[in-house]
Structure 1
Amino acid sequence: MTTEARLTAVHDFARGKMRDDETGHGFDHIQRVVRLADHLLTAYPQADRLLTLTAAYLHDVIDEKLVADTQAASDEVRQFLTAQAFTADQQDTIFLIMDNMSFHKTLDGTAKPLPLEGQLVQDADRLDAIGAIGIARAIYFGGHFGERIYDPAVAPRTKMTHADYRDLGHETIINHFYEKLLTLKDLMNTDAAKALAEHRQRVMQDFLAEFKDEWQAKK
């Protein structure tokens, strides 16, 4: 089976799993992460393109915040990858990436080091969380879960555990920028991603400044 044939099958599998998502992690997000990862690959041709893009397509399919049974979801992905002739070593690399790329792993220090392929997927996923798209996704996600937009009396949390991070009852949409999104620029792995993150960071900073001026009726 060719690389492109396997990627087509992975594309279709991921679309079937994520197309109905209403949290900002739908298949449109998946496609952007794949495109960003493919773009970053041009600067790092030594990375395995099949493993990079497969992990990019599948990275949210077993995410704990999106699926009720992560073990069952993982088993289904394993079965799918086996059917598409991915070797055991390839599957292990894909799962290593998916299991260790999430932001919450940086909070409890449990993340295992990612191979270059994983660093590219992580960078692509983080790039889609910032900038204009990141602003839209943060509002969409917060609205889906009933978060308040903003409360000046509620300070952003500076130190969070995994449990704190998942506790949306103590977060506002605007605070999420300070608690996570504005930190992602400095967490990028690759120089190519760092360059793209600079502009997206400024977009968010400009938005927050404008938002707070309007909140206080200064404009």
Structure 2
Amino acid sequence: MMNRDTFKIIENYMILCMGDSAHDKDHIYRVLYNAMDIAATEQNVDYDVLICACLLHDIGRKEQLENSKLCHAMVGGEKAYQFLVENSFDTAFADKVKHCIQTHRYRQYNPPQSLEAKILFDSDKIDATGTLGIARTLFYKGTVGEPLYSLLPDGRVSDGTTDENPSFFQEYKYKLEKLYDRFYTARGNEIAKERRQTAVSFYADMLREVSDTYNQGMELLDETLEEV
């Protein structure tokens, strides 16, 4: 059974591994608390596996940040397994935690299978919904030096739908907008739906503001230059 001493051992290792500001220890705690909320509505949850997986699900972020070809979920799963085995946890338990971590990422392949993996997946995705998800995405984009938006060939602002180059608008259309149909649990889906409109409104308002600035400004600049 997970007790406070065991929790602290796992928590301390998590803290040592964290370095990404958008995926910091506060993100970990929010995911853990989301998971507790969801788990309370489910039956036969293995809380030991769930709590451990939530704490360790992003410990591979540093490796991915240093090498973009690496998947933090796959790296993190392996690191978690090794850590748990080295600290006398049962290999079967370590395997269950590893599965949760390696299937928590937003991808079509390798979906979560166990109930605990599905809860972790939903809990992590909830933290990418609503205004909190917007804020975290902007934080991350700034950290890696990516822009808010891209421009179309005519110089106007792209809404991100067909963009290939990374930006906040591209991330919103590619990922954030589509999150709300990807939840496995009823409670996770409920929480996400409650947050959805704030994200939609933020994106729409930001797109309108920057588009108006470009459209009006470009027209006025053209008129001024023609007059000169």
Instruction: Report TM bin, short chain.
Output: 0.7 to 0.9
Secondary structure of residue in 1 paired with 2:23: coil
Report if aligned partners of 2:57, 2:77 keep a CA contact under 8 Å in 1.
no
Residue 21 of structure 1 pairs with residue 27 of structure 2: no
Q: What residue is the counterpart of 2:187 in the other structure?
A: 192
Q: What residue is the counterpart of 1:164 in the other structure?
A: none
- The CA RMSD over aligned residues, in Å, is 2.5
Alignment of 1:87-126 (within 5 A): 87-103=90-106, 105-106=107-108, 109=109, 111-126=110-125
Identity score, percent: 24
Q: What residue is the counterpart of 2:9 in the other structure?
A: 9
Structure 2 unaligned blocks of 5 or more = 153-157, 214-228
Corresponding letter in the other structure for 1:213: R
Q: What residue is the counterpart of 1:170 in the other structure?
A: 165
For 1:53 and 1:130, the matched residues in 2 are separated by 21
TM superposition score normalised by structure 1: 0.82
Deviations 1:13-42 (A, max 9, x none): 111211x323x0111111111111111111
Corresponding letter in the other structure for 1:99: Q
Please identify the structure whose Cα radius of gyration is greater.
2
Structure 1 unaligned blocks of 5 or more = 159-167
For 2:75 and 2:119, the matched residues in 1 are separated by 26
Identify the range of structure 1 (35-44 vs 77-86) with the bigger mean alpha-carbon deviation: 77-86
Report if aligned partners of 1:150, 1:175 keep a CA contact under 8 Å in 2.
yes
Deviations 1:92-147 (A, max 9, x none): 111111112211x31xx3x0442000000010000001111101111011111111
Q: What residue is the counterpart of 1:217 in the other structure?
A: 212
Higher RCO (CA 8 Å, separation ≥ 6 residues) = 1
For 1:173 and 1:213, the matched residues in 2 are separated by 14
C-alpha displacement of 1:73: 6.1
Corresponding letter in the other structure for 1:10: I
Q: What residue is the counterpart of 2:177 in the other structure?
A: 182
Secondary structure of residue in 2 paired with 1:89: helix
TM superposition score normalised by structure 2: 0.79
For 1:208 and 1:155, the matched residues in 2 are separated by 9
Q: What residue is the counterpart of 1:57 in the other structure?
A: 55
Residue 141 of structure 1 pairs with residue 143 of structure 2: no
For 1:214 and 1:42, the matched residues in 2 are separated by 42
